[in-house]
Amino acid sequence: MNSTDLVVKLSEREGMTEKTARLIAGALFDAMKEALAKGERIEIRGFWSFAVRHYKSYKGRNPKTGEAVDVPSKKVPFFKVGKELKEMVNK
């Protein structure tokens, strides 16, 4: 399922126009992106959670040349599936 499919399902299920459903989905995704950009955690109990993981800088190696390179610190979004969703998928 992609975002277009989600918009169609939302509009059909709730009896709203696709334009309204697109605005709601867009607002939800924008709020999630903003929260992650601030380093906040997003959690829907039993479904999933997103968090930002911080990685320190380190010395890496260019696999092509073998030369040592400095890899800068970074933040990466991390997804974790909830227990209830995991159990539902594995039925």
**Per-residue pLDDT tens for 21-59?**
999 999 999 999 999 999 999 999 989 999 999 999 999
Beta carbons within 8 Å of 9's beta carbon, 6+ residues apart: 1
Domain of 56: which CATH number?
Answer: 4.10.520.10
* Same domain membership, residue 90 and residue 55: yes
Rounded to two decimals, what is the model's pTM?
0.75
- Same domain for 5 and 21, yes or no, is yes
Tell me the HSE value of 57 on the side-chain side, using a 13 A CA sphere: 5
Structural domain harbouring 48: 39-91
What is the count of structural domains for the chain?
A: 2
Average pLDDT over the chain reads 94
Same domain, 51 and 34: no
Q: What angle do CA 12, 2, 16 make, to 5 degrees?
A: 20
At 46 the pLDDT is 87
Q: Does residue 45 sit in the same domain as residue 25?
A: no
